[in-house]
Structure 1
Amino acid sequence: MTYQNIDLQFTQLDIERRIGKIYDAAIASNSAVALWRLPGGAQPQAVVDFNDPVQFAPVNFLERRPAFIFAPFVSEPPGAAFQLQADLWFDGERLQVHRPNGSPVRAARSAHFFAMLTTKDQAAARGWYCADAVRNHAATESEFIALVRKAIDFIRTSGIAKVVVSRTVPVPLPPHFDPVRTFLSLCMRYPHAFVSLTAIPNVGTWLGATPEVLLTLDNDGLTTMALAGTQQRPADLPLEQVKWGRKEIVEQEMVADYVRTFFASTGVADVEEHGPQTVAAGSVVHLQTLFRVNLPEAKRLALANRVLDELHPTSAVCGMPKQKALAFILAHEGYDRSFYSGFLGPVHIQNRSSLYVNLRCMRLGVDQAHLYVGAGITTDSDPAAEWRETALKAETMLAVLGAEEKVAD
């Protein structure tokens, strides 16, 4: 795809105003927009898609189409995702545009977008898209503990190794809530996370700061990750000195072995493995093992397709064996995960693709944020401890909302 650089005096604005003007113009033109900041990255990036509706289809890396991918936990057809085509791409400094053609709606949205982009800053409150009705029961502490006990019983009677259960936490939005400023606050608080703000008409608006890589692609190879085990980050203790219990070590090894089995099934040789090591994610720490393989481009892209088809949803957010764990989740969790524990990120932008599992995230409602948190359950799980683990994970999003979780029993 060929892009044209455009100069709208953006370099004279600070990053908050640049990102804010792109987001506001997208919302005003009823266009889909995604903002993101890569782990360790200096500047946020953005894409805007003028399609109506945004394409929802399985991802195919071999098409080499620049886009931002936003996939649910489960979808129909399997593996399908919203694909925000990069009609406009902001690389952190400059705006680059691929002028849409063919559809009158796309042309009209594009014209409206650029008209809004060149207007003076508005004093009106910043808006966002809200989803249609979502099955969103928020489990109480006693309900979640009962779910964990049911999961443990299922593991023992079925013989499966692990199932991941989750819950949602509704939190009132603070007065004058601003999604762009919250996104930038997440970027500042969590420099080593993938931070995102995704807004799609008739789908909704999500914010997140996730630590978990699904896959990354560069000019040489593919990298994926096994991430599991959670505890509160010990104060004043180097990460390499953090101690882990048996339950967390076994859980992380299950996930890592699942990834090893996947690579063995593909016939790919010379897989590099690094870890497990302790990594920080906000106020908590996890155990992480990285896997990397170097391949020629066509084989690399074909392997990326297999990662999406066979590893998603990952054992870190679903369980193993995957199909039995997924059946338990859909039957007993009691709410719709929607895009929580799906995957998201840019593909074929700057010759890189970076997809992450959608953890530490929230969906924006009219006057509430709905936070999503989960815990991996094994036969060694303590139900009360699993509730506390989800409360720890919620702190990532609660911190930027200036809120604390209120638990009713």
Structure 2
Amino acid sequence: MIEVKETTLHTLLDQAVNEAKYNHTTPLLSMTKKIDDFNPLLFFEAAEQLPMNRTFWSSTAEAFYIVGVGSAYDLADGADSIEQIERNWRKLVDESIIHNPYGTPGTGLLTIGGMSFDPTIRKSERWKKFSHQSFLIPALMLTKERDTCYVTFNIQVTEDDHPEQLAKRVKWMENRLFDHSGYIHGENGVESTADVAPEEWKETVKRATDYIKQDDADKIVLARELQVKLRDNAAITPILNNLIETQTNSYVFAFERDGDCFVGSSPERLVKQEKDVVLSTCLAGTAPRGETNKEDDRIGNTLLQDEKNRSEHDFVVRMIRQSMENYCLAVDVPDKPVLYPLKNLQHLYTPVTARLKEGYSIFDIVGKLHPTPALGGVPREKSLAFIRDHERLDRGWYGAPVGWLDSNSNGEFAVAIRSGLIQGDQASLFAGCGIVRDSDPEAEYEETKIKFLPMLSVLGG
């Protein structure tokens, strides 16, 4: 259904192959073109027939989507830090052949991925398919902004490649992914759920409050797990569809790795970059939504005045301001938070805007911000030490940054909360809460139950 400009594609492929032969290198060719409107969920669904990992990203409030298929390049190969990933990215951008006449954010050469919450701990069997850091350049990518769609091909070329054969491979993939019936297959249903050691978790909360009362920390974020047995192997596309429909003002994401899929819907932006302008979000302090407008207003006003939640929120605000000041100019922070409503929950919200200093990128800020006090605690090292010693959970990518960056200095990262790891007919859902001096273990346990709801509901629970 899409007409490829064969001369343009062949010209670029000839250029890439000739460069590979002349310099004895393997340049990456990235070509973007505008296409007719296409449903990104159908693109994601069609990609299931190919033996390639899929990636999905959506900012639901902005009707913005990125869907990646396969991998043309792995930035994390040989990298042991986000600083090394950034160096790899800069080198790749400098050496790639990029054809993108549009400049729309999320088009052209782009990397997308995530990382572990704590790369210092030994990886559990459950997360064995997810590297501590993984940022891929998709082999084929669909980008949709409102009603405008783009497709990007990324090909690493060698001196032994033939342009004609590469062009045929691109055309074959394109035909497979865009020639689709227009139907999202499958449905999901929950057979059973099981809390993982709830009483032990409450005891850990008590131990954390004792630790805090000794002035060893101000706040510790503890996470726990809910295991879900599904009636059949999970169908990922319907999960994404349900999250998009029900979780407005959120980032919906999915990262596949050899059959396992980390999927979720996070309301928490870590940082967004548009050229030299960056925006971070303080989202900490949680309450349920009311069943009526009057009840909703009452709960919201109580949240705004609640000492525990305001204190927790202020921790995050101060830390983000300090982190942004390392790499930015003109950091602007409102005096007080406002309410950020979601379908099941409402949060305290404060935006932080700034201008990025020359020579820095979104990766610098991600590395400095993670983990925020909303996912780790305060002070950072003491809270992380407590988590390593007492939390029986390998969080994997839960609570860590996930997102994307393009070669035109646009990008966005969210904190991977309201999420779960799906493995066949099993799902592990994760939720956490901030423990402070006066935290009540039973109340914190009930708060995590509320935070499981977005994922549990789209799984059919």
Matches within 5 A, 1:126-275: 139-175=196-232, 177-201=234-258, 204-235=260-291, 236=293, 237-238=296-297, 242-244=301-303, 245-264=306-325, 266=326, 268-274=328-334, 275=336
How far apart are the structure 2 equivalents of 1:314 and 1:330?
16
2:30 and 2:152 in contact (8 A); partners too: no
Query: Residues 326 and 35 from structure 1, CA distance in 2 versus in 1: closer, same or farther, beyond 3 angstroms?
Result: same
Give the CA deviation at 1:176.
Answer: 6.1
Letter in 1 for 2:114: F
Letter in 2 for 1:193: S
Aligned to 2:26: none
Instruction: Name structure 1 gaps, 5 residues minimum.
Output: 128-136, 404-409
Query: Residues 201 and 176 from structure 1, CA distance in 2 versus in 1: closer, same or farther, beyond 3 angstroms?
Result: closer
- Percent identical among aligned pairs is 22
Give the CA deviation at 1:322.
Answer: 0.8
How far apart are the structure 1 equivalents of 2:230 and 2:265?
18
Query: Residues 72-113 of structure 1: CA distance to partner in whole angstroms, max 9, x if unpaired?
Result: 102269x962012133220123422123323999x7997885
Give the CA deviation at 1:288.
Answer: 1.5
Give the CA deviation at 1:121.
Answer: 5.4
Indicate yes or no: 2:139 matched with 1:87: yes
Query: Residues 304-323 of structure 1: CA distance to partner in whole angstroms, max 9, x if unpaired?
Result: 33322222111110101111
Indicate yes or no: 2:62 matched with 1:41: yes
Query: Residues 223-245 of structure 1: CA distance to partner in whole angstroms, max 9, x if unpaired?
Result: 11222111112231359953222
Give the CA deviation at 1:261.
Answer: 2.7
1:228 and 1:288 in contact (8 A); partners too: yes
2:262 and 2:420 in contact (8 A); partners too: yes
Aligned to 2:110: 66
- Secondary structure in 2 matching 1:234: coil
- Secondary structure in 2 matching 1:260: helix
How far apart are the structure 1 equivalents of 2:184 and 2:42?
14
2:184 and 2:237 in contact (8 A); partners too: no
Matches within 5 A, 1:291-370: 291-295=352-356, 298-301=358-361, 304-348=362-406, 351-370=409-428
280-289 or 311-320, which deviates more: 280-289
TM-score, scaled to structure 2:
0.74
Give the CA deviation at 1:361.
Answer: 0.3
355-364 or 170-179, which deviates more: 170-179
Query: Residues 119 and 255 from structure 1, CA distance in 2 versus in 1: closer, same or farther, beyond 3 angstroms?
Result: closer
Query: Residues 358-389 of structure 1: CA distance to partner in whole angstroms, max 9, x if unpaired?
Result: 00001001211110000100002111100000
2:140 and 2:152 in contact (8 A); partners too: yes
Q: How many residues align?
A: 381
Query: Residues 50 and 240 from structure 1, CA distance in 2 versus in 1: closer, same or farther, beyond 3 angstroms?
Result: same
1:161 and 1:378 in contact (8 A); partners too: yes
Query: Residues 373 and 352 from structure 1, CA distance in 2 versus in 1: closer, same or farther, beyond 3 angstroms?
Result: same
How far apart are the structure 2 equivalents of 1:110 and 1:326?
46
- Secondary structure in 2 matching 1:230: strand
1:198 and 1:205 in contact (8 A); partners too: yes
Aligned to 2:103: none
Give the CA deviation at 1:206.
Answer: 0.9
Query: Residues 41 and 263 from structure 1, CA distance in 2 versus in 1: closer, same or farther, beyond 3 angstroms?
Result: closer
1:117 is aligned, of 177, 195, 204, to 177
How far apart are the structure 2 equivalents of 1:124 and 1:288?
35
How far apart are the structure 1 equivalents of 2:220 and 2:261?
28
1:227 and 1:252 in contact (8 A); partners too: yes
Aligned to 1:133: none
1:278 and 1:285 in contact (8 A); partners too: yes
Query: Residues 162 and 88 from structure 1, CA distance in 2 versus in 1: closer, same or farther, beyond 3 angstroms?
Result: same
Give the CA deviation at 1:210.
Answer: 0.2
Greater CA radius of gyration, 1 or 2? 2
Aligned to 1:402: 460
How far apart are the structure 1 equivalents of 2:159 and 2:298?
53
46-55 or 223-232, which deviates more: 46-55
Query: Residues 3 and 53 from structure 1, CA distance in 2 versus in 1: closer, same or farther, beyond 3 angstroms?
Result: closer
Give the CA deviation at 1:153.
Answer: 1.2
Letter in 1 for 2:307: R
Give the CA deviation at 1:212.
Answer: 0.8
- Secondary structure in 2 matching 1:317: coil
Give the CA deviation at 1:118.
Answer: 6.4
- Secondary structure in 2 matching 1:307: helix
How far apart are the structure 1 equivalents of 2:143 and 2:370?
28
- Secondary structure in 1 matching 2:158: coil
1:75 is aligned, of 102, 119, 126, to 119
Query: Residues 255 and 396 from structure 1, CA distance in 2 versus in 1: closer, same or farther, beyond 3 angstroms?
Result: same
Cα RMSD (Å) of the superposition? Answer: 3.4
1:47 and 1:67 in contact (8 A); partners too: no
- Secondary structure in 2 matching 1:99: strand
